[in-house]
Amino acid sequence: MTKKTNEPINPDKILDCLGLFCPEPIYRTRMELDKLKKGQILEVIADDPAAEGDITSLVKRLNLHLLEIRKEKEGVHILIKND
């Protein structure tokens, strides 16, 4: 579930997938999610058009918490928490 708050979320790790195309963003995101400890937050930044849908599906499949999806000039920012 996506939650929008006014407070900035400080990720524990940032994964830069700019310039990478499928399947790299989803593969690298999965690798980083496997390293996350309980309570930690990963921010993924990607400009692949498929990244938002792919990563959202992955988060749902892994029963993690999607904190935010934010579209900015350089790409989409996706914040994921390991609950």
For residue 30, the Cα-to-chain-centroid distance in whole angstroms is 10
Q: What confidence score (pLDDT) does residue 58 get?
A: 97
pTM over 0.85: yes
Q: Which of 14, 18, 22, 62 is catalytic?
A: 22
More confident residue, 56 or 9: 56
* Ordered domains of the chain (ranges, CATH): 21-81 (3.30.110.40)
Q: Please give the DSSP secondary-structure letter assigned to residue 10.
A: -
Active site residue 17: no
Which residues have C-beta within 8 Å of that of residue 45, sequence separation ≥ 6?
A: 14, 15, 16, 17, 18, 74, 75, 76, 77, 78
pLDDT in tens, 21-69: 999 999 999 999 999 999 999 999 999 999 999 999 999 999 999 999 9
